Amino acid sequence: MLSLDVGCGKHKIGSFGVDINKDSHADLICDVQFLPFHDKVFRVAFCYHVLEHVLTPYNALLELKRVCNGKVIIKVPNKIRELEGCNPNHLYTWNRYTLKQLLSKVFDNVNIYCNVRFNRVRVPFVKRFLINALDHVFLTEITAICVC
């Protein structure tokens, strides 16, 4: 099962890593918007903390869908937490609703999960009612699992 890690940096997940940064430990240096692979080559694609850096995230998502024949797993920082720190390298921010809206333009099946942090202990996939109550305080990142 081939897997693709887009924006792998120095810690590649899976069998093949790509990154735009020449200092990364990627197997191939390229832009996620122009992946040099045949259609449906990878069973799973990981895209962790990449979309917020991409000039046109929609095009990047189209490319991820094109090269993947299974699932695309995406993580982005939570918009509200982002606004507190305002990373100048981030071109876009999303909350769980706006991220689902974007992903639904490309993928038919999108599931959104929220990762929260309590006293430095990470608790993923917390129930929706708890997330809604604590969204602005503890929600650190949003994970999406998209089926191709």
pLDDT digits (tens, 9 = 90+) for 6-53: 999 999 998 999 999 999 999 999 999 999 999 999 999 999 999 998
Q: For residues 51 and 131, which has the higher predicted lDDT (pLDDT)?
A: 51
For residue 66, what pLDDT band results from cuts at 50, 70 and 90?
A: very high
Domains of the chain with bracketed CATH: 3-147 (3.40.50.150)
Q: What's the pTM?
A: 0.81
Query: Residue 90 has which token pair?
Result: 């981030």
For residue 73, what pLDDT band results from cuts at 50, 70 and 90?
A: very high
The Cα–Cα gap between 144 and 142 comes to: 7
The Cα–Cα gap between 81 and 83 comes to: 5
pLDDT digits (tens, 9 = 90+) for 85-128: 566 777 788 888 899 999 999 999 999 988 765 544 445 555 55
